[in-house]
A and B are shown apart, each in its own frame.
Chain A
Amino acid sequence: MSVVLDSSTRVLVQGITGREGSFWTEHMVNYGTNVVAGATPGREGQEVHGVPVFHTVRRAAAEFPADASLLFVPPRFAKDAIYEALDAGIKTVVVLSEGIPLHDALQIRRAALSEGAMVIGGNTSGVISTGEAMMGFFPYWIERVYRPGRIGIMTRSGSLTNEVTAQIVKAGFGASTLVGVGGDSVPLTRFAEVLPMFEADPETDAVVIIGELGGTMEEEVAEAIEAGIFTKPLVASLGGRTAPKGTKMGHAGAIITAGKGTVEDKVAALTGAGALVADRPSSVGEMLQSVLEKVG
């Protein structure tokens, strides 16, 4: 089992005929993802790697009902495309684009909350349930990073995920599902909202979160642990302990503002809740070994 998606999830791809959309659709299909249809305005009747294309999400969903939609669209069109998916009743949406305008992101977030939908992203590689299905761009053929296993992973970063996941694999583990919530200042789904899914998944033994300075998502994870919403072992790898205040460290969301978002606060909250916090990627594997051996 896995969370967010598995090999039975019916996936729609918006922007399927573009260069990236078509390239990654092929990989997704090869990986075992159940891609049922695609949508690109003006391209109905075409096929992309055997997947039928429709003008609109509504027309696609009428013929091929979908559980989830993956967006390959430029950031400025993300809001329109996400609303289109939500309007068609799709409850899981993954948006990869980096640079969604801030006010658009706020509106999308609120719309998703009120529709009871989960919109994941932006600025992410997507979601992969190893050995089953993926929505996004993951070079799953690199075995020392994408090995199937029983560790749930959530991350705000693409590049760092490879580094940390390689350490997890090196320690003898693998991933159940990896959810990239993305590096923007308004992640459309937050760590703490995915956590209950990992809690409920019998094939996830522990969760690793890959976080960094900025925002309060790591603090919310600590709250979820303290509230008993999440009870499995949790290891956090956090970057930006020594980052200067007020400097935007690459990601739009990686900034300390109004005194909030320091890694110090995050470490205090997480350790206070009983989670383990790694100060470097290589410690993540050892920490997992220590907690999972105890569990038995």
Chain B
Amino acid sequence: MKLFEYQAKDLFEESDIPVPRRSLISDASEIDGAVEEVGFPCVVKAQVLRGGRGKAGLIQFASTREEARTKAEQILGSPANVPSLLVEQALNIDKEIYLSITADPVSGSALIMASAEGGVEIEEVARTMPDRIIMERVKLSEGLLPFQARNVMFGLGLDADGVRTGSAMLLNLYDLFREYDAELVEINPLVVTGDGALVAADGKVTIDDSSLHRQGRFTLGREYFESDVEYEGAMEGIPCLKFDGKIGLMCAGAGLTNVIYDLVNYGGGSVASYIEFGGPNYRKAVKAMELMMRTEPKVVLVVTFGTIARADVIAEGLVDAIEQLKPEFPVVTAIRGTGEEKTQELLRGVGLEPLTDTEEAVERAIELTTEVRR
């Protein structure tokens, strides 16, 4: 679960990690109160989860009340569907640092990454100057030790004062990482201000989805999803991703779906949506089809190789869904595994052609999108 910047900064503040003065608003009419609190110059930042906010014009500076209001209206009115704005004191920047804690699956430890080249994406630094990234691995059983924090801060080239405050801050950030079962905590940039203070100018916190049962503080709501259908799918326990293409994928299993996704793209087709139809969801065909219809595909492709999730049970569900919901798009199927003969009978019963070869099914779906276009 990815948190919004304002939530990450609330957590930082509670953990004694310095953050800029700030105020959260959801309507442009609240801007006067916000700038009063924050002062000028200020930054108006869209609270959205996707990256690239700067490039998309979703972060804007303002030095007057009028300017702040215009920028706020502009961002809230943009087609990016922005639920709220963080209005923040603009910082006097001397240096920008990158700092994060994530999981290192190879060694089974937490991994601190830091770089004096802050403000740009770490991918960029990793590609162009990999030796400028400082890494420190932390055993969860021991926790972050002070010498490790010092290793990082001296590595960043901070002065003695900077190392002291930076180390204390990193220890706090590590505690936050542990306490919230984080997959990622990231400060980019961590700003060294003109008077030598360290301030988290941005913040990312992602809580591990498998730990949400013991992390009750944040609840998933509509604002965490790009579309209504993705939100509803998540609430039903049916993972759903929406794309811009034509073919809806209702496949069982993530691994298989990823391969089908590739095959569709190789063949010149495009994917409209990805609905997980495997695991425990193979009994939820009607709900899955309902969600599928709302992603407006031109063709739906059902590919499964169900052995424990029996093929005939999947087919029964699919037949129910088609009879109840009467989708207008064609449905192409390759449903294999346990109970295949009965599967074929069931599918023929509702006028579907039961294919058995994955690649043939993908080709058929692509052909159908081409015909529909004509």
Q: Which residues of A contact B (CB under 8 A)?
A: 75-76, 98-103, 105-113, 137-139, 142, 145, 155-163, 166, 183, 185-187, 190, 210, 212-213, 215-216, 220, 237, 239-244, 246-247, 249-252, 254, 257-260, 279-282
Contact of A166 among B255, B304, B305 (CB under 8 A): B305
Q: 15 additional contacts, CB 8 Å, given A102-B181, A102-B211, A220-B106?
A: A103-B211, A106-B104, A106-B109, A139-B307, A139-B338, A159-B257, A160-B253, A183-B255, A215-B105, A216-B106, A240-B259, A241-B265, A250-B239, A280-B263, A282-B359
Tell me if A183 and B105 are in contact (CB < 8 A).
Answer: no
Tell me if A103 and B140 are in contact (CB < 8 A).
Answer: yes
Tell me if B213 and A157 are in contact (CB < 8 A).
Answer: no
A238 to B251, CA, bound (A): 17
A288 to B198, CA, bound (A): 57
Known interface pairs A215-B105, A250-B255. Does A259 touch B127 (Cβ–Cβ under 8 Å)? Answer: yes
Known interface pairs A159-B252, A239-B258. Does A100 touch B210 (Cβ–Cβ under 8 Å)? Answer: yes
Contact of B258 among A110, A158, A161, A212 (CB under 8 A): A212
Contact of B108 among A107, A138, A159, A254 (CB under 8 A): A107
Give chain A residues whose Cβ lies under 8 Å from the Cβ of B213.
76
Give chain A residues whose Cβ lies under 8 Å from the Cβ of B181.
101-103
Tell me if B211 and A101 are in contact (CB < 8 A).
Answer: yes
Tell me if A186 and B123 are in contact (CB < 8 A).
Answer: no
Tell me if B359 and A249 are in contact (CB < 8 A).
Answer: no
Q: Return the chain B residue nearest A220 by Cβ.
A: B106
Give chain A residues whose Cβ lies under 8 Å from the Cβ of B178.
103
A-B interface contact total, Cβ < 8 Å: 177
Tell me if B51 and A246 are in contact (CB < 8 A).
Answer: yes
Give the Cβ gap from A23 to chain B, nearest Cβ, in Å. Answer: 10
- By Cβ-Cβ distance, the 7 closest A-B pairs, closest first, are A159-B253, A157-B255, A250-B254, A109-B108, A160-B255, A110-B108, A259-B123
* Interface membership of B218, Cβ < 8 A: no
Subset of 22 A-B contacts with CB under 8 Å = A101-B208, A102-B181, A102-B211, A103-B208, A106-B140, A108-B108, A110-B140, A113-B107, A139-B307, A157-B256, A159-B254, A159-B305, A160-B253, A160-B259, A183-B255, A240-B259, A243-B261, A243-B262, A249-B254, A250-B253, A252-B209, A259-B122
* Interface membership of B322, Cβ < 8 A: no
Tell me if B141 and A110 are in contact (CB < 8 A).
Answer: yes
Known interface pairs A216-B106, A251-B254. Does A280 touch B337 (Cβ–Cβ under 8 Å)? Answer: no
Give chain A residues whose Cβ lies under 8 Å from the Cβ of B147.
none
| Interface bits B182-214 vs A (CB < 8 Å: 1, else 0) | 010000000000000000000000001111011
Known interface pairs A106-B109, A183-B255, A239-B258. Does A163 touch B211 (Cβ–Cβ under 8 Å)? Answer: no
A281 to B208, CA, bound (A): 31
Q: Return the chain B residue nearest A165 by Cβ.
A: B305
Give the Cβ gap from A140 to chain B, nearest Cβ, in Å. Answer: 10
- Name the prevailing secondary structure of the B interface residues: mixed
Tell me if B105 and A187 are in contact (CB < 8 A).
Answer: yes
Give the Cβ gap from B204 to chain A, nearest Cβ, in Å. Answer: 12
| Interface bits B243-257 vs A (CB < 8 Å: 1, else 0) | 100000001111111
Q: Which among A108, A156, A157 has the greatest number of chain B C-beta atoms within 10 A?
A: A157
Known interface pairs A102-B183, A159-B255. Does A142 touch B211 (Cβ–Cβ under 8 Å)? Answer: no
Tell me if A252 and B210 are in contact (CB < 8 A).
Answer: yes
Give chain A residues whose Cβ lies under 8 Å from the Cβ of B307.
138-139, 142, 145, 162
Tell me if B256 and A160 are in contact (CB < 8 A).
Answer: yes
Contact of B208 among A102, A166, A243, A260 (CB under 8 A): A102
A278 to B274, CA, bound (A): 23
Tell me if A281 and B259 are in contact (CB < 8 A).
Answer: yes
A139 to B338, CA, bound (A): 9
Give chain B residues whose Cβ lies under 8 Å from the Cβ of A156.
255
Give chain A residues whose Cβ lies under 8 Å from the Cβ of B126.
258-260
A259 to B122, CA, bound (A): 8
* Interface membership of B153, Cβ < 8 A: no
A137 to B123, CA, bound (A): 39
A259 to B253, CA, bound (A): 25
* Interface membership of B47, Cβ < 8 A: no
Q: Return the chain A residue nearest B257 by Cβ.
A: A250
Contact of B262 among A75, A110, A280 (CB under 8 A): A280
* Interface membership of B103, Cβ < 8 A: yes
Tell me if A102 and B308 are in contact (CB < 8 A).
Answer: no
Known interface pairs A101-B210, A250-B239. Does A281 touch B255 (Cβ–Cβ under 8 Å)? Answer: no
Give chain B residues whose Cβ lies under 8 Å from the Cβ of A145.
307
Known interface pairs A156-B255, A158-B253, A242-B261. Does A186 touch B210 (Cβ–Cβ under 8 Å)? Answer: no
Give chain A residues whose Cβ lies under 8 Å from the Cβ of B295.
none
Give chain A residues whose Cβ lies under 8 Å from the Cβ of B76.
none
A270 to B241, CA, bound (A): 30
